[in-house]
């Protein structure tokens, strides 16, 4: 059975890439450059988090049931 990936899975993968990039930046850049780069990546991380879509399973139930058809 093939794996099914959602939009949110893609967001999580992008966040993981941002985390890895932060680690590499700290290793290879000067302290000041690393701080600036990390600040930028934190903004990207937060933007990615805001893009996540609510889960379909957690959808709020309607206040009233739909009307019944005769």
Spatial distance between the Cα atoms of 70 and 50, rounded to a whole number of angstroms? 43
pLDDT for res 64: 63
CA angle 36, 44, 60 (to 5 degrees): 150
What's the token pair of residue 62? 């309607």
Spatial distance between the Cα atoms of 11 and 13, rounded to a whole number of angstroms? 5
Q: Which distant-in-sequence residues (6+ apart) come within 8 Å of 70 by Cβ?
A: none
pLDDT tens digit string along 14-32? 888 888 877 777 787 788 8
pLDDT for res 54: 73
List, run by run, the mean pLDDT of 10-residue segments along the chain (70 residues).
Answer: 74 83 78 84 85 66 62
């Amino acid at each position: 059975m093939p794996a099914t990936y959602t939009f949110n899975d893609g967001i999580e993968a992008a966040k993981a890439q941002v985390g890895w990039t932060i680690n590499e930046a700290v290793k290879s850049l000067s302290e000041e450059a690393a701080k600036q780069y990390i600040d930028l990546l934190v903004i990207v991380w937060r933007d990615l988090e805001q893009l996540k879509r609510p889960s379909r399973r957690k959808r709020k139930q309607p206040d009233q049931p739909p009307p019944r058809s005769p």
